[in-house]
Structure 1
């Protein structure tokens, strides 16, 4: 196909308005881009200040800022496409379908993410706390957006999904500064309980780690199979719980032994019944 001067002039005349429209659209898109980028920077700074004032967890704060920044940039891209005359409705529909497919494929991860957000916002525990959950007892070493890392007391490290933690009971042994120490002591039947109680309380008073308020107490709790069962209760700092327990169990045992109060061991009394008479007595009678 050959072009003469008239044809070429006509094409240029018809194309010129389109070129100008395209250039203007591109210029608008550039302006929208830089203006949107500036607005995004202001929003992120404002969000950062809000997070710092609310004392939000660092890992959650970082994740949320990244998420908000990504969402704002997606909106900026859609605005730029609309400025260039691109139909964004179909694009949004494609994004929605892709988001739905990804959500269905990552149900477990999304549940863990939601659980991580709840944990980091409401803080049922923090790094360094001793917790018990999902049959695991140990110290919290790390809290991520999807998983929490717990180091057990035998030095095993367990990674627990946050979804499971957020939807089940959690026992936090470090939440309160003080803990109640409970010790079970058994003494032989026939023992004077008032004397025993005084010996135990005097033993506890010698330990400076035990708090005077609430005061230590000793309660008679049960007629056991082999002993009279006593419950010994006192309060100490959370960090002293087990040392106080171990030391005073030994001290109470020694104090009771010193006062000749028997700490019984499991035993049974066996009685023989002979309907036809005791064979030993019969042999004696024969003699």
Structure 2
């Protein structure tokens, strides 16, 4: 009987301590989840404000990602402190663990450093069509570790920032104009002067083709099966693909109407019969 009384007395003494632990745990969880929610909202609000201030979308996304990461780290430390974890010791432990994790995650750190370089050097902006990291697409946003590209068929390609910075970057949107490099082949029995005249007429009829620099049309090669012209008009970067498709189509139709042949690849085979 005395043992039971002692047990209940001990339990009653521990009750305030348990209640205190549970309350601190609940408050810590509230701080963590509410703080995380607020951090995401603040980061999104800052991104929208930067966009309204005409800041590039890629820069705004990168800045909001960094802000969210910093706020999340602070919230996590506050929650741990509320629970009762010694944050000073915890920070020291995190520092030692961070060194080990950093060595194990060199690729991720490289992606982060590359993301900072992309923002500082600005080889491309949001909305630019680029070829980088072995992928082609329109830049949607740049985050801490990855760059997001959208392809013309509406796929999203997530490219590591280190892959972008460690290779060649081709920015198709940086300049306002681009040159079309087309090769047009005609048959050997076709009239070269007529073919050149037709291409000049088609080019002059398209208002999207720039007059300066002038379009170049000239014979480039006497190939195995055809006489090849290079056709090099200049257009606005946004009109590149539309003008390319229209030129090829109009040239084909006009060649057919005016009797200029476009040959298939062919090979002449001569058979010699040897009499025995």
Kindly indicate whether the alpha-carbon contact (under 8 Å) linking 2:208 and 2:236 is maintained by their aligned counterparts in 1: yes
Structure (1 or 2) with the larger CA radius of gyration: 1
Q: Tell me the residue number matched to 1:117.
A: 116
Instruction: Map 1:132-147 onto structure 2 (within 5 A).
Output: 132-147=131-146
- Please list the CA deviations of residues 117-170 of structure 1 after superposition, one character each: whole Å capped at 9, or x if unmatched: 011111111221111123211112221121111122232221111011111111
Aligned Cα RMSD in Å? 3.0
Q: Paired residue for 2:201?
A: 202
Contact 1:182 1:245 in 2 (8 A): no
- CA 186–142 in structure 1, closer or farther in 2 if over 3 Å, else same: same
Distance 1:186 1:251 in 2: 14
Deviation at 1:91, TM superposition (A): 9.7
Q: Which residue of 1 aligns with 2:125?
A: 126
Cα separation, partners in 2 of 1:63 and 1:143, compared to 1, 3 Å: closer
- TM-score, normalised on structure 2? 0.67
- Change in 2 beyond 3 A, CA 1:249/1:70: closer
**CA gap 1:95/1:257 in 2 versus in 1, 3 angstroms:** closer
Residue in 1 that maps onto 2:178: 179
Equivalent residues in 2 for 1:173-252 (5 A)?
Answer: 173-252=172-251
CA contact 2:185–2:228 (8 Å) conserved in 1: yes
Most deviating of 268-277 and 111-120: 268-277
Residue 109 (structure 2) pairs with residue 107 (structure 1): no
Unaligned stretches of 5+ in structure 1? 1-47, 73-87, 278-287
Give the TM-score of the pair, scaled to structure 1.
0.64
Determine if contact 2:66/2:144 at 8 Å carries over to the other structure: no
Could you tell me which runs of 5 or more consecutive residues in structure 2 were left unpaired when the two chains were aligned.
Answer: 1-45, 75-87
Contact 1:139 1:150 in 2 (8 A): yes
Matched, 1:58 2:60: yes
CA contact (8 A) 1:201 1:217 kept: no
Q: Is the 8 A contact 2:65 2:143 kept in 1?
A: no
